[in-house]
């Protein structure tokens, strides 16, 4: 809207007001506000014309009356912004929680694998020491050799391929 449209709307709704001056427009809280000075019964007064979407929404006789409406609009806008910010914060918190949970799962799996590998390597080292001790002390070498070969085969299968368990029935020749 332009000044002529505002003056026409003012004359239509307030026929006793005589136009003197106009200031604006000013955009406040999504509305366009024009300040119009008029001569009403020999006194200078202000009128505030609120324009919404290119049409005159209302004409206010004082700033206090339009201030209440603009304050309500501002509060509504602030509430919507706070709601949007709270929703965004909640989405970010959920995403961070999910990422932290995934990182903890990966760390747990890594730690479990590391402990398993250390235990297996320890068992292999102990069997190697027992084998070496039995070989050095001159005891019967065959039980130690078979035990060491079994541990070595199990460790290789565990680290490099499918771990195969042997049942007692598989050892009995038929």
pLDDT digits (tens, 9 = 90+) for 62-107: 888 888 888 888 899 899 999 999 999 999 999 999 999 999 999 9
Report pLDDT for 56: 82
Q: Which domain holds residue 36?
A: 3-61
For residue 147, what pLDDT is reported?
Answer: 75
Distance of CA 74 to the CA centre of its chain: 27
Q: What angle do CA 32, 34, 39 make, to 5 degrees?
A: 160
Residues near 39 by beta carbon (within 8 Å), at least 6 away in sequence = 17, 18, 20, 45
pLDDT of residue 155: 73
* Residues in the chain, pLDDT under 70: 138-139, 161-166, 168, 170-174
Domain membership flag for residue 35: yes
Q: What is the pLDDT of residue 89?
A: 93
Contact 120, 155 (CB under 8 A): yes
Residue 76, in any domain of the structure = no
3-state SS string over the chain?
Answer: CCHHHHHHHHHHHCCCCEEEEEEEEEEECCEEEEEEEEEECCEEEEEEEEEECCEEEEEECCHHHHHHHHHHHHHHHHHHHHHHHHHHHHHHHHHHHHHHHHHHHHHHHHHHHHHHHHHHHHHHHHHHHHHHHHHHCCCCHHHHHHHHHHHHHHHHHHHHCCCCCCCHHHHCCC
Domain count, the chain: 2
Q: Please indicate, yes or no, if residue 68 is contained in any of the structural domains.
A: no
Q: Look at residue 147 and tell me if it is in a domain.
A: yes
Q: Is residue 130 part of a domain?
A: yes
Q: Which pair of tokens denotes residue 18?
A: 């005589």
Q: What per-residue confidence (pLDDT) applies to 174?
A: 47
CATH number of the domain enclosing 42: 3.10.450
Q: Using a pLDDT cut of 90, give the percent of the chain over it.
A: 22
> What pLDDT does 171 receive?
64
What pLDDT was estimated at residue 62?
Answer: 86
72 within a domain of the structure (yes/no): no
């Amino acid at each position: 809207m332009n000044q002529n449209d505002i003056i026409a709307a003012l004359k239509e709704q307030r026929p006793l007001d005589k136009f003197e001056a106009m200031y604006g427009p000013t955009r406040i809280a999504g509305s366009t506000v024009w300040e119009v000075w008029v001569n009403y019964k020999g006194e200078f007064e202000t009128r505030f014309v609120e324009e919404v979407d290119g049409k005159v929404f209302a004409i206010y006789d004082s700033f206090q009356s339009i201030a209440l409406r603009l304050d309500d609009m501002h509060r509504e806008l602030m509430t919507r912004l706070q709601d949007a910010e709270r929703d965004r914060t909640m989405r970010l918190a959920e995403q961070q929680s999910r990422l932290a949970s995934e990182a903890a799962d990966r760390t747990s799996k890594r730690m479990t694998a590391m402990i398993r590998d250390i235990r297996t390597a320890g068992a292999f080292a102990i069997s190697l020491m027992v084998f070496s001790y039995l070989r050095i002390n001159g005891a019967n070498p065959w039980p130690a050799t078979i035990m060491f070969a079994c541990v070595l085969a199990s460790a290789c299968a565990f680290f490099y391929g499918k771990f195969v368990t042997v049942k007692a029935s598989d050892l009995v020749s038929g």
